[in-house]
A and B are shown apart, each in its own frame.
Chain A
Amino acid sequence: MVNRVVLNNQIHRDVRIAATRPTRENAEVNAVSVIPREFPRLLAHYPIFFTKNMETGRFEPSALLGFQPQENLFFVDGRWDAAYVPLLIQRQPFSLITRRAEDSDGKPPSLDVALDLSQTVQSHDGERLFLEDGQPTKFLQGITSMLSALVAGAKETYSFTGRLAELSLIEPVQIDIEFVNGSETKLQGLYWIATAALKVLPAAQLAELRDREFLEWMYFQMASVAHVSALVLRKNRLLSGATPARP
């Protein structure tokens, strides 16, 4: 059970967070929601697609990590096997809790940094959260800026994908994969940029996409699809290591 408590520099003065993260429980997912500001760094490793948020039906970009539920091919022998870890996983076990709802005059809700105590991340040799004088450590400052980036990123994400959907620039894609051992999988529920629609997009709308940075984000998504084959390769390596070669 998740047990989130708001951070407090008195109560949590001596808490330390394990240096080796993410932990298995945070890493065992086959996709993770990402934000456009991460795209340049994600592009080095991960295929990015759009998926629908189960709660809202809205499109959001996700990095694909594996082919089965809970299969993360980037998490190897208890360690993350890529130079960049998506923010949503990196920030664990921290999150933001809303202190009060959004004001009617449009002031954003105020947020507190919270720690999930249910996660086994406290250790003796880990990172401290607060200095002796109660000020946040560099580590905690880093976490806080990650969390604010995610909040800002969610807003950007939905204006980005909302506009793409309006312009019919997102389309569903089904990817059929055959692995080295002959097993097959169909990736469903994934969407990508509708390149045919993009090619005939009127200039005014193209300019709008460019001015809002959406155009480069779209190209990052399109380019990232090449990583699907790298992901298959990771899986094939696992499969051929795990099963004896066939005669």
Chain B
Amino acid sequence: MSPAEPQPLRKILIVGGGTAGWITAGVLASRYPRRGEEGVSITLIESRQQPPIGVGEGTWPTIRATLKQIGVTETDFLRECDASFKQGSQFVKWVDGGDADAYYHPFTLPAGHEDRNFAPYWLEDPRGQSFADSMCFQTDVCRHALAPKQITTPEFTGLANYAYHLDAGKFGPFLQKHCVEKLGVGHRYDEIVRVESRDTGDISHLVTKSGEVLTADLFIDCSGFSSLLIGKHFAVPFLPKKDVLFIDKAWAVQIPYPTDDDAINSTTMATAQSAGWVWDIGLTTRRGVGYVFSSGHISDEGALEELKNYLGARGNLSRELSFRKIDINSGYRQEFWTRNCVAVGLSAGFLEPLEASAIVMIELSAKSIANLLPSCSGGMRQAARIFNDTFRYRWERIVDFLKLHYVLSRRTDSRFWIDNRARESIPNSLREGLQFWGGHCPWHDDFAHREEVFSSASYQYILYGMGFQTYPAPWLLNDHDRNLAREKMSETAQYAKLLTASLPGNRDLLSKVRRYGFQKI
């Protein structure tokens, strides 16, 4: 028998219609516009179910380019997904748990970070200011709950770097409408009952509950935790990361704003607790709050009690609140692209929500699939290998980066924090990194990839925000850069003053967007 003729790869079937499915559909369909029989055809199948109850989800600034690529307007997105501006994270009580213990991880890079590493010069003379405050104007903007832009700023651009908080329950349907109506993505509600293979091991078609047979050249598994294709069909092993990241459960709740003009926070607030941390995300319509915790360190009831204390201390506790329990199974697949099937979203992996890596991983996956998309079946194996290498690397780096937040803590008030610093729970790569950064401030070259999920800037913000000490060798420093660093710091302070005086409040701007919208230019 002669080897199989290479088949053109033109038909893509996406299984699952949550955030992952619709982002992937949007990115692919906008990249390969429909051209009748000539082009790439994209179909999405999902089972009819209630949309998830939105607790508020964080994104990374990459989302702006992704939304622009998909072709929606920022105004429609903000209005329809109850979205608000996110300019970074604030970590409260992570270092020593004291009353003054709080630091920012802003989205705007440290001043001059594009081509010079100024961290050593801040370290040698911090002048009583935190790293983020010295090197980034955005902390002041966040402190005052200001917006990253003005109503006159064109859509998707900002005076400070920003992403969004959004209601995931509304985001999927919002993208769906655009994908189906504007981008020509095929869509059906049905359930998969059978997966049929070819001799090669590739999936040949899916059979649905209503009896339809769906063939495709590439199947994208966006089926969430049920992992219909990558898990159930292909049985690709899941690599749990619970020994590194202990968090495995969450209590989530929605909190109404006490008044219509209550300030909307510009950051995700992450407040450390005895066995995890509480997220606090402000949407336009309500706040999403939740406690992610390690069941090995606290009982469900104990965790609920702590969450209620958190809410009570802010005057947000009332009898009407309904708390929802969520299981978190941290880890990812051994591979994500196998044969003619690639997994995106929860089916590929999930880590605790710290630093909001879920949606950015979906965006990166969709973009990567679009970039790697082979023109015929013969290219599938190589595309899969590149994709798997890249994403294995990315998941590993995220695990390292999340763990970093726990390793640097000096809290001793509960086992959770102490156990998090146990040597055997820290990945080798992170241990080696920390050793390196003891004498060298994180820099672009420390990381192997062009598109790092968390860049050297993020490492600098976390390391120095948490009081990590780097001792760079004096002979590697020089007066030229030292003076430049001082200049950048004073420019930063001036710019912070200018912006805090001229930027509107987050809530103000979001209300204006409701009325007037942003201009495209």
Please give the residue numbers on chain A whose beta carbons come within 8 Å of chain B beta carbons, in ascending order: 52-59, 165, 168, 170-172, 191
How many chain B residues touch A (CB < 8 A): the figure is 12
In the complex, A64 Cα to B142 Cα: how many Å?
Answer: 37
Contact between chains at A57 and B512 (CB < 8 Å): yes
- 18 A-B pairs, CB-CB below 8 angstroms? A52-B519, A54-B151, A55-B151, A56-B512, A56-B515, A57-B150, A57-B151, A57-B152, A57-B153, A57-B516, A57-B518, A57-B519, A58-B516, A58-B519, A165-B519, A165-B520, A170-B521, A191-B521
Q: Which residues of B contact A59 (CB under 8 A)?
A: 519
> A52's contact among B152, B515, B517, by CB below 8 Å, is which?
B152
Q: How far is the CA of A2 from the CA of B150 in the complex (A)?
A: 26
- Which single residue of chain A is at the shortest CB-CB distance from B151? A57
CB proximity of A8 to chain B, nearest CB, Å: 33
The interface residues of chain B lying within 8 Å CB-to-CB of A170 are: 521
| Contact partners of B515 in chain A: CB under 8 A | 56
On whether A171 and B519 interact (CB within 8 A), knowing A55-B151, A56-B512, A57-B151, the answer reads no
Cα(A191)–Cα(B152), bound, Å: 12
A214 to chain B, nearest CB (A): 18
Query: A191 to B516, alpha carbons, bound, how many Å?
Result: 18
Closest approach, in angstroms, between the C-beta of A217 and any C-beta of chain B? 19
Rounded to whole angstroms, the CA-CA distance of A58 and B152 in the bound complex is 8
Q: Are A171 and B521 in contact (CB under 8 A)?
A: yes
How far is B422's CA from A210's CA once the two chains are assembled, in angstroms?
74
Whether B521 pairs with A172 at a CB distance below 8 angstroms is yes
A189 to B, closest residue via Cβ: B152
Please name all residues of chain A whose beta carbon is closer than 8 Å to the beta carbon of B153 when the two chains form the complex: 57
* B72, chain A: closest CB distance, angstroms: 15
B485-521: CB near A (< 8 Å → 1, else 0) gives: 0000000000000000000000000001001111111
Measured between alpha carbons, how far is A83 from B515 in the docked complex, in Å? Answer: 38
Distance, CA A169 to CA B518, complexed state (A):
16
Which residues on A sit within 8 Å (CB–CB) of B517?
A: 57
Chain A nearest Cβ from B153, distance in angstroms: 8
Q: How long is the Cα–Cα vector from A210 to B512 in the complex, in angstroms?
A: 31
Residues on A with C-beta less than 8 A from B150 are: 54, 57
Residues of B within 8 A of A171 (CB): 521
Closest to A171 in B: B521
Residues in B with CB closer than 8 Å to A53 are 152
Instruction: Scan residues 132-168 of chain B and give those whose CB is less than 8 A from a CB of chain A.
Output: 150-153
Interface pair B520/A56, CB less than 8 Å apart:
no
Contacts of B151 in A (CB 8 A): 54-57
Q: Determine the distance from Cα of A191 to Cα of B520 in the docked complex, in whole angstroms.
A: 12
Chain A residue at minimal CB-CB distance from B513:
A57
In the assembly, what is the distance between CA of A191 and CA of B521, in Å?
9
Cα separation A172 to B516 with both chains bound (whole Å):
19
Complex-state Cα separation, A53 to B518, whole angstroms: 12
Q: Which residue of B lies closest to A59 (CB)?
A: B519
Q: How far apart are the CA atoms of A53 and B512 in the complex, in Å?
A: 12
Cα A56 to Cα B516 in complex, Å, equals 6
Residue on B nearest A165 in the bound complex, by CB: B519
Q: Give the CA-CA distance A55 to B512 in the complex, in Å.
A: 8
Which residues of the other chain, A, contact B512 by a CB distance below 8 angstroms?
A: 55-57
The 7 closest A-B pairs by CB, nearest first: A57-B151, A52-B152, A56-B516, A57-B152, A57-B516, A57-B519, A172-B521
Select from chain B the residue with minimum beta-carbon distance to A170. Answer: B521
Residue of A56, A59, A191 contacting most chain B CB atoms (<10 Å): A56
* Residues from chain A with Cβ under 8 Å of B152 in the complex: 52-54, 57
**For the complex, what is the distance from the CA of A168 to the CA of B155, rounded to whole Å?**
14
Bound complex: CA A191 to CA B151 (Å):
16
Instruction: Report the separation of the CA atoms of residues A171 and B154 in the bound assembly, to the nearest whole angstrom.
Output: 12
Q: Output the nearest chain A residue to B509 by Cβ-Cβ distance.
A: A57
Chain B residues whose CB sits within 8 angstroms of the CB of A55 once the complex forms: 151, 512
How far does the alpha carbon of A59 sit from the alpha carbon of B521 in the complex, in Å?
Answer: 10
Most chain-A Cβ atoms within 10 A of its Cβ — which of B150, B518, B521? B521
| Residue from A52, A56, A57, A59 whose CB has the most chain B CB atoms within 10 Å | A57
Question: Could you say which residues of chain A place their CB within 8 Å of the CB of B521?
Answer: 165, 170-172, 191
A172 to B152, CA, bound (A): 13
Q: How far is the CB of B182 from chain A (nearest CB, A)?
A: 15
Query: Given the complex of chains A and B, what is the CA–CA distance between A184 and B45 in angstroms?
Result: 60
Closest Cβ–Cβ distance, residue B514 to chain A (whole Å): 12
Task: List the A side residues contacting B516 at CB < 8 Å.
Answer: 56-58
A148 to B521, CA, bound (A): 31
Closest to A56 in B: B516
Known: A56-B151, A57-B516, A168-B520. 12 other contacts (CB 8 A): A53-B152, A56-B512, A57-B150, A57-B152, A57-B517, A57-B518, A57-B519, A58-B519, A165-B519, A165-B520, A165-B521, A170-B521
Distance in angstroms from A163 CB to nearest chain B CB is 13
Distance in angstroms from B351 CB to nearest chain A CB is 38
Q: In the bound complex, what is the Cα–Cα distance between A171 and B518 (angstroms)?
A: 15
Across-interface contacts of B518 in A (CB, < 8 A): 57
A147 CA to B340 CA, complexed, in Å: 68
Tell me how far the C-beta of B155 lies from the nearest C-beta in chain A, rounded to whole angstroms.
10
